[in-house]
Amino acid sequence: MRNENIHNPDLIRLIRQKANLSRRETVRLISIARSGHYGTSFSCAEIMAALYYGFLRIRPDQPDWPDRDRFVLSKGHAAVGLYPILADLGFFPAELLDTYTRLGSPFGDHPDMRKIKGVDFSSGSLGHGLSISVGMALAKRLDKSDGRIVCLMGDGELDEGQIWEAAMSAAHYKLDRLIGIVDRNDVSVDGPTEQVMALEPLADKWRAFGWNVTEIDGHDIPAILGSLGQANERRDNRPSVIIARTVAGKGVSFMEDKYEWHLGYLAEPDETQAMRELAQTE
């Protein structure tokens, strides 16, 4: 990816629109399921849109293209926000989303790589994604492929020891084609992360494990694109992590920064208000 993308107003506008598409479709799909993860899907909407429309090398008409970049959604409960992006890109017909969580549907609350084109890992059990990403990066090296591996983690799942074992392994094996992103929205299902299990100083922890670290506003699209571009250009035998400071429930006033909206369901008046607020961000 070229860094001039951060100065491309058409691309930035497109990514903003697709992030909002993800949020609006998240509301619609959860209304079908009558339960779902709003807060975590909204906090990473710009990140996923920037990845898919401005960074990842993929071919929706060839979902199994061997040299594609791989995206691991370690925080698999945000899948409801990813599915609309995959549909919009043409991995599968958008109308299939209407079956979300219904009996026999491939689209569950967490993604299944065996059933959904464009999904590279069946995530859901937190803490596993970075280990899988390390394995993918090692496989790319053996295949002499220049493909990148991007792993999006939630900050709550950093409580899992396996994350730090994988972080140590990635630095040991000098996996500079591996990019980690931490969706640092400061909340988890049990409450504010700093009350549940303090993570700060988070950047220093990653540096101590041998990673390049960049801290950004995770809703600032040029900052997301710029940090991805910098990570892509590095050839210093060190993996890179982007700590993206975000707002849980971003875009809907009564959800923002509220851990209670990690999982929930909107009554009709609240859904109407949420959709009205999201429409105003276009």
CATH number at residue 59: 3.40.50.970
Q: How confident is the model at residue 282 (pLDDT cuts 50, 70, 90)?
A: low
For residue 129, CA distances in Å to 165, 226, 236 come to 12, 24, 23
Q: Residue 1: its pLDDT value, please? A: 45
pLDDT in tens, 254-268: 999 999 999 999 999
Please give the angle made by the CA atoms of 126, 160 and 120, to the nearest 5 degrees.
35
pLDDT in tens, 28-72: 999 999 999 999 999 999 999 999 999 999 999 999 999 999 999
* Mean pLDDT over each residue of the chain, to the nearest integer: 96
Task: Give me the phi and psi of 181, to 5 degrees please.
Answer: -130, 125
* Parallel, antiparallel or unpaired: strands 240-245 and 212-217: parallel
Please give the Cα distance from 153 to 75 (Å, whole number). Answer: 5
Pair of tokens at residue 43: 């906090």
Q: Residue 81: its pLDDT value, please? A: 98
Asked whether residue 281 carries a pLDDT value surpassing 50, the answer given is: yes
Domain count, the chain: 1
Please give the Cα distance from 87 to 107 (Å, whole number). Answer: 12
DSSP assignment of 235-268, as one string? -SS--EEEEEE--TTTT-TTTTT-GGGGSB---H
Q: Residue 198: its pLDDT value, please? A: 96
| pLDDT, average across residues 213-226 | 98
Taking the CA atoms of residue 192, residue 198, residue 202 and residue 205 in that order, the dihedral angle to the nearest 10 degrees is -160
Instruction: Write out the residue range of the structural domain in which residue 217 sits.
Output: 3-279
User: Among 89-93, 123-127, 217-221, which stretch is predicted with the lowest mean pLDDT?
Assistant: 123-127
What is residue 212's three-state secondary structure? strand
pLDDT in tens, 229-247: 999 999 899 999 999 999 9
| pLDDT, average across residues 185-201 | 96
Q: Residue 4: its pLDDT value, please? A: 67
| pLDDT, average across residues 166-195 | 97
For residue 215, CA distances in Å to 201, 206, 228, 230, 257 come to 12, 11, 11, 12, 19
